[in-house]
């Protein structure tokens, strides 16, 4: 009898206090403050901007799907070493071979031009 009372109480709590799902949108997938800043600026002027788009083994930071423009936001810490620059060149080559125009912006450019 106690089991069924607890089960009924649990069901009542479930009905009265349903689980609230987190709001999930493209902005929440941005991986850095500079990505969010550029995302916000593009949305403000009317662009729909999907984020973290998969293309082969790579991910595009921000994309304009119709014109196939891949937008990469390069923070100094992650993109300044020779190894990182070589990786970025390989990624750009792959994206271009798959029909994307690639635009790269440094964090400094984004902060100075938008911020």
CATH label of the domain that carries residue 104: 3.40.960.10
- Kindly state whether residue 88 falls inside one of the protein's structural domains: yes
pLDDT at 95 > cutoff 70: yes
- Kindly state whether residue 14 falls inside one of the protein's structural domains: no
Range of the domain at 32: 25-114
- Kindly state whether residue 91 falls inside one of the protein's structural domains: yes
Average pLDDT over residues 3-20: 48
- Kindly state whether residue 58 falls inside one of the protein's structural domains: yes
Average pLDDT over residues 84-92: 95
* pLDDT above 90 as % of the chain: 68
* CA neighbor of 64 nearest in space, from 75, 53, 74, 79: 53
99: left (phi > 0), else alpha (psi -120 to 50), else beta? left
């Amino acid at each position: 009898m106690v089991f069924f009372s607890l089960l009924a109480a649990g069901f009542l709590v479930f009905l009265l206090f349903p689980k609230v799902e987190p709001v999930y949108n493209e902005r929440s997938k941005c991986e850095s403050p500079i990505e969010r800043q550029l995302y916000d600026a593009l949305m403000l002027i009317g662009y729909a901007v999907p984020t973290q788009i998969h293309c082969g083994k790579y991910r595009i930071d921000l994309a304009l799907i119709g014109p196939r423009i891949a937008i990469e936001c390069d923070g100094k810490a992650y993109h300044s070493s020779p190894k990182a620059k070589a990786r970025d060149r390989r990624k750009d080559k792959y994206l271009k071979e798959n029909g994307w125009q690639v635009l790269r912006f440094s964090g400094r450019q984004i902060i100075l031009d938008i911020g």
